[in-house]
Structure 1
Amino acid sequence: MADILVVGLGDLGSRIAIGALHAGNAVCAMRRNSQCPQGIRLVQHDATLPWPDITGTFTDVILCVAPDERNESAYRQAYLTIGERALQWLAQHANPPHVWVVSSTGVYGQQNGEWVTEESPRQPSSQTAKILVAAEDFWFNSGVACTILRPAGIYGPGRTMMITIAKKAIHFIENKPVYTNRIEVSDCARAIVYLVQQRLQGVRVADAYNLTDLQPAPYTEVIDFLQQQLQIIPVSVEQRNNGSKRVSANRLQQTGFDWHYPDYQAGYLALL
């Protein structure tokens, strides 16, 4: 039985903590408020402040803190400040646990529909994505064993942005495919727990994994599918010319991970 610390207990963090518990681990979680799933030991603390002493012989620490807002300040707090606090805490351990950092496929700024893998250059286009790259590099240069986890767009219960757009009854036209990349939230949490368990079983894990499903798909295709399922007839037309990329999940697939929702059709049919 491993001792795992999950920092951040939002939707994804809670799913990871519960999954790690069900896999037979002792799980401790740090979050600001007092809500905590049954069976998980809670440390109620703001992770941006110096961390308290936490009893346990931790094998793995999972940093899964979502920014409070989509701005540079919130991203710096969630990824850089908490990273610094975590590293200060880890320095007190003779055998530091393996660190798992939940980042984002937003670090890839490629815009020409090309496939990107974990070995593709990170070319962040937004300021928030640049902070994510800085946070990844902070951990890569930390001297601590770490793995960066890069989820694509997470969807599922409570995460229904594409369904909301489909309901606006707009038919989108693209001059070239504008690819979308996504992962259903339960698959995202399962993938993270799966990789942690692989490491605990002695399997060598990579320094980074893209967490996405097996079928990047054009935006228009996904919206058209949702409108068909919801029996929505478009009443207006809108053109989209954004740049985009296709994110490869090949490295995750090679580990033997099995998706419940390998494509958007499976995931959205379950959600609807």
Structure 2
Amino acid sequence: MTPTPADTPAASDQSPVTPRRRVLAPGHLFCFGLGYSALHVADRLLAAGWRVSGTCRSAEKQAELRARGIEAHLFDRGRPLADLGRYLADVTDLLASVPPDAAGDPVIDLHGAEIAAAATRFAWIGYLSTTGVYGDCGGAWVDEASPLRPSGERGLRRLKAEEAWLALPQPAHLFRLAGIYGPGSSALDSVREGRARRVVKAGQVFSRIHVADIAATIIASMARPNAGAAYNVCDDDPAPPADVVTYACALLGVAPPPVVPYETADLSPMARSFYDDNKRVSNARMKRELGVTLAFPDYRIGLKSLFDAGF
């Protein structure tokens, strides 16, 4: 019988923590990088009466965000914000979802001093990281107390970025996200578009998370701040990626693509790197400390919900 995350020794060894509760009255969220996950957080907060502002990288995205009621500013490594201090003047909460590049974390590199100067004024700071910081664990369970041993360059960049956000006068909350899926971005879409492949590597499993559960977890953390805490954000069912494609094909009523052994698969270096890490990620701390109940505890429930909703 496969153990559940709560059954693993690493999960049970963690000391229980009860973060202080915060009345989550409408405030002002500033988000560096208004991408797929961050926008789901923004939409929930906008619906609750919050003000949301942040950054994006193109004029087209800026116009789209402003049409949704989000004050957006253009930002990337070659285009720092001219007056970040003014933008942060009444910000209550700060979220960063910009990935690090080869030079480091662009947000910290360009605006770390300004963020540090304002950090203690914020009620909450969050940073979106990945479970890649744990590296390859041979399929074993990992939790937030597990060693951080990234196996590739991207994971190492994430770990360095985490360290930078933890070094602020008020440390950030770290959200180590598993593979993200949701409306417009799931195995259903890859099957429909003819991109789906069933690459099989013996014993390989991945953890994943529906974007709606990411948003719910981040907002739950905002309501229960615990500066410096790290949370694995994943569902309850680490599974082989080929199984996910097979299920998506069953929902769509199409034949699944043929199984391709990993050893002979024609994969790009980027795609092949995803198979370097093999682990089962525990979400026990997220549930215990933040009171999160997953809306989509496994990929079958998540994909069926997307299918039924026309995605």
Instruction: Please report the TM-score for the alignment, with normalisation by the length of structure 2.
Output: 0.73
Kept after mapping to 2: 8 A contact 1:17/1:29: no
Matched residue, 1:266:
301
Q: Aligned partners of 1:134, 1:173: CA distance in 2, in Å?
A: 31
**Deviation at 1:225?**
2.0
Once the two structures are TM-superposed, the CA of residue 171 in structure 1 deviates from its matched residue by: 5.7
Separation in 2, partners of 1:55, 1:82: 14
User: How far is 1:187 from its partner?
Assistant: 1.7
Residue in 1 aligned with 2:52?
Answer: 27
Shift of 1:139: 1.8
Q: Which residue of 2 aligns with 1:230?
A: 252
Higher mean C-alpha deviation, range 115-124 or range 23-32 = 23-32
Residues 168-187 of structure 1 aligned to structure 2 (within 5 Å): 173-176=200-203, 178-187=204-213
Q: Distance in 1 between matches of 2:106 and 2:166?
A: 16
**1:159 aligned onto 2:159:** no
Q: Write the distance in 2 (CA, Å) between the matches of 1:42 and 1:252.
A: 30
- Does the CA contact (< 8 Å) of 2:175 and 2:233 recur in 1? yes
Aligned-residue identity in percent: 27
Supply the distance in 2 between the matched residues of 1:132 and 1:227 (Cα, whole angstroms).
33
Structure number with higher helix proportion: 2
What RMSD in Å do the two structures reach over aligned CA positions?
2.8
Gaps of 5+ in 2: 1-25, 264-274
Structure 1 distance, partners of 2:185, 2:31, is 22
Pairing 1:214–2:236 present: yes
Task: Using CA pairs under 8 Å that are at least 6 residues apart, name the structure with larger relative contact order, 1 or 2.
Answer: 2
On the 8 A contact 2:99/2:105 being kept in 1, the answer is: no
Q: Deviations over 1:176-208 (max 9, x none)?
A: 2x1111111122122212211233xxxx46611
What's the offset of the Cα at 1:112? 0.6
State how far apart, in whole Å, the 1-side matches of 2:157 and 2:295 are. Answer: 32
Query: Which shows bigger deviation, 114-123 or 220-229?
Result: 220-229
1:89 maps to which of 114, 124, 127: 114
Secondary structure (helix, strand or coil) at the match of 1:30 reads strand
Alignment of 1:1-272 (within 5 A): 1-32=26-57, 33=59, 34-35=62-63, 36=65, 40-46=69-75, 48=77, 49-52=80-83, 53-54=86-87, 56-66=89-99, 72-73=101-102, 76=103, 80-93=105-118, 95-97=120-122, 98-161=124-187, 164=190, 173-176=200-203, 178-199=204-225, 204=226, 207-234=229-256, 236-240=258-262, 242=275, 243-254=277-288, 255-272=290-307
What's the CA shift for 1:38?
A: 5.5
The normalised TM-score by structure 1 is 0.82
C-alpha deviation, 1:163, in angstroms: 5.3
Change (3 A) 1:121 1:250: same
- The amino acid of 1:192's aligned partner reads I
Q: Which moved more, 1:233-242 or 1:182-191?
A: 233-242
